[in-house]
Chain A
């Protein structure tokens, strides 16, 4: 069997998730033994269009982004969204809550239209996405697992239980008991609850579990004297995107 050809592409983002692939230092040479990387602007000069798997980081936030993404979709077997920006719209989608026209016009005056900027959206708002590696940044172990699963013809699955489960396994005190808010009750696990473990609340950078137990979150919040609405309003860093932003 020929080695799968991989492309790594980047849109509106910090490119941290592309970088996270280079950070698989201990496994990189083994990965290169089972796949060929044929397009990776951040790391190599060669550029080939047709790939078996396209790993794409970043949200789509310009018309140029959207056109390029459609081109990638046409030339790729599988499209994998890597990181929160590609998966949920992430940090770039926070700008959707601003008055974009006003902001642009204030800065550029009558030159505002010169700069291409549209509401930021996850890849799935424009093209079919076959899998996602969520998180800000994506988890490099999860990336390696996906590459292995695809190479072996297995189905890749994400954990579908909340960060709370992993946080308990880490033996952390509950952040609500320390007077902090936390999204761990409804956020998708797979990060090993790394933020709460290092003393910081979960902000659901991996998105929500498929059927979030908002009931349980509500109970926890009520006990802490907070409402779900307050929390959802407060934690917009990764889950700001709404379908109406692109209508």
Chain B
């Protein structure tokens, strides 16, 4: 029989990025409290950006998060280009797409193999697996290294990229290095088959079903990463410049991160949202991986975000190979570089926003630059902040269905749920203040 009273307080959920607690309270069979308390310390990035030259935005905002620094880089430079009225070359766009694929691969490999997999294998971390499953661990390390090396070659560094700027690149990677990346990506395809096989065997998702809204970038004809319109699974589509028509932010006192919703309520962003909205544009190989993993369009169980990440590993690997082929066939233009100072681009003041799909979901950067070239206003809306409402809605759905389980199992299931969203809490607590004090 189900428990009448239950109190769970998991301090500092492990194997996620950042600090958060799970708090659940059931009294007389009633679910009274169900929260993901975000305790990460605020850093006030938007306030710190104000009054600084527009050239500072990219290297400050990439430092919001060590795991997603390449994603923040891409969102920041695209938003700034929209604000300043800059356009970039085809080569620049291709190199950015490659950079973002490197980031997706390292982030998804890290999450699927190092953070999520131990739960399903009954261990507390990847470390004991080095003894019990040495081949898998060595493969995981090899794949992560390859992904980081792609970012290193394109951007100078994986954590905190250097050469990506509004307007273009400050340095163009060597063709020989890109050719070597291509070789390693091609070799990784057989490792991916092993990963997908492993995922299909171990990821036995708990049952969870509720009516969910998803939001992702969409660009009919392609599976979008770098740009597109902002789409809800409920049908609304807005231009990235008008993202606040769809997305609203508010303060919750139990969280140092803002919560985000649409007019319909909380929504989910991330790999599962991208899959649900854009699945028809995936390559045949990615679609095959999805069906082998039991992932179907319209999936309303957020635990399947793990499977959706595996599908995206296939998509990003194959697209990265195509991007390198295109760059090498065109021939790299080493003179297509931009300087690091303000006057090296032909800019005008204004406001600009960008929506970029990063590993954990849709990321918005929005800047206003004044006549003096200084940032007058900045607003950043982070995937994990967008997901808190959805995580809590899932917890409220899930807890009553598992109340008959032992307390430890309920706690573990809730931790697995939080982990399935692959939250990045440092990112989400970059702010606290969205408006500036004048």
Seen from chain A, the residues whose Cβ lies within 8 Å of a Cβ on chain B are 10-20, 22-23, 25-26, 28-29, 32, 37, 40-47, 61-62, 64-65, 91-92, 94-95, 97-99, 102-104, 106-108, 111, 114-117, 120, 136-137, 178-180, 194-195, 197-201, 203, 237
Cβ-defined contact, B65 with A41, below 8 A: no
Question: Contacts A23-B148, A45-B124, A199-B340: A111 and B253 contacting too (C-beta < 8 A)?
Answer: yes
Cβ-defined contact, A95 with B145, below 8 A: no
Which residues of A have CB within 8 Å of B301? none
Cβ-defined contact, B432 with A107, below 8 A: yes
Identify A14's interface contact among B66, B110, B435, CB under 8 A.
Answer: B66
Cβ-defined contact, B435 with A198, below 8 A: no
Q: What would 17 A/B residue contacts be, using CB atoms closer than 8 Å?
A: A11-B41, A16-B67, A16-B159, A19-B66, A19-B159, A23-B145, A23-B148, A25-B148, A26-B145, A29-B130, A29-B141, A42-B16, A44-B124, A62-B41, A92-B43, A102-B437, A180-B340
The proximity string for B residues 404-432 relative to A, scoring 1 for CB distances below 8 Å and 0 otherwise, is 00000000000000000000001100001
Cβ-defined contact, A194 with B341, below 8 A: no
Which residues of B have CB within 8 Å of A198? 155-157, 162-163, 170-171
Question: Contacts A25-B144, A61-B43: A237 and B432 contacting too (C-beta < 8 A)?
Answer: no
Interface centre among B157, B435, B437 (most CB of A within 10 A): B437
The proximity string for B residues 122-155 relative to A, scoring 1 for CB distances below 8 Å and 0 otherwise, is 0011110010000001100110110010000001
Which residues of B have CB within 8 Å of A46? 124-125
Question: Contacts A19-B66, A44-B14, A137-B159: A26 and B435 contacting too (C-beta < 8 A)?
Answer: no
CA–CA, A12 to B63, complex, Å?
12
Report the count of interface residues on B (CB-CB < 8 A).
65
CA–CA, A26 to B140, complex, Å?
11
Cβ-defined contact, B42 with A117, below 8 A: yes
Interface centre among A42, A97, A111 (most CB of B within 10 A): A42
Q: Is B256's beta carbon under 8 Å from chain A? A: yes
Which residues of A have CB within 8 Å of B14? 41-45, 47
Identify B253's interface contact among A14, A62, A114, A195, CB under 8 A.
Answer: A114
> A17-B66, A46-B125, A99-B437 provided; 8 other pairs, C-beta below 8 A?
A12-B43, A13-B426, A16-B66, A25-B141, A25-B144, A47-B14, A98-B47, A197-B171
Which residues of A have CB within 8 Å of B130? 29, 32
Chain A min CB distance to B289 (Å): 24
Cβ-defined contact, A14 with B138, below 8 A: no
Cβ-defined contact, B41 with A117, below 8 A: yes
CA–CA, A197 to B341, complex, Å?
16
CA–CA, A44 to B115, complex, Å?
8
Main secondary structure of the interface of B (DSSP, over half): loop
Cβ-defined contact, B15 with A91, below 8 A: no
In chain B, positions 32-73 with a C-beta closer than 8 Å to chain A are 39-44, 47-48, 56, 59-60, 63-67, 69
Cβ-defined contact, A94 with B437, below 8 A: no
Q: Is B108's beta carbon under 8 Å from chain A? A: no
CA–CA, A178 to B339, complex, Å?
9
CA–CA, A45 to B409, complex, Å?
15
CA–CA, A178 to B337, complex, Å?
14
Question: Contacts A95-B47, A98-B48: A200 and B141 contacting too (C-beta < 8 A)?
Answer: no
Seen from chain B, the residues whose Cβ lies within 8 Å of a Cβ on chain A are 12, 14-19, 39-44, 47-48, 56, 59-60, 63-67, 69, 110, 114-115, 118, 124-127, 130, 137-138, 141-142, 144-145, 148, 155-160, 162-163, 169-171, 251, 253, 256, 337, 339-341, 426-427, 432-435, 437
Question: Contacts A198-B171, A200-B340, A237-B60: A37 and B156 contacting too (C-beta < 8 A)?
Answer: no
Chain A min CB distance to B300 (Å): 28
Which residues of B have CB within 8 Å of A180? 339-341
Chain B min CB distance to A197 (Å): 7
- Nearest A residue (CB) for B424: A15
Cβ-defined contact, B144 with A23, below 8 A: yes
Which residues of A have CB within 8 Å of B19? 10, 41
Chain A min CB distance to B53 (Å): 9
- Nearest A residue (CB) for B339: A178
Which residues of A have CB within 8 Å of B426? 13-15
Cβ-defined contact, B43 with A16, below 8 A: no
Cβ-defined contact, A44 with B125, below 8 A: yes
Chain A min CB distance to B323 (Å): 20
Which residues of A have CB within 8 Å of B253? 111, 114
CA–CA, A101 to B130, complex, Å?
49
CA–CA, A26 to B426, complex, Å?
27
Which residues of B have CB within 8 Å of A41? 12, 14-15, 19
- Nearest A residue (CB) for B145: A25
Which residues of A have CB within 8 Å of B110? 22
Cβ-defined contact, A43 with B126, below 8 A: yes
Cβ-defined contact, A43 with B340, below 8 A: no
Chain A min CB distance to B244 (Å): 18
The 3 closest A-B pairs by CB, nearest first: A16-B66, A199-B170, A44-B125
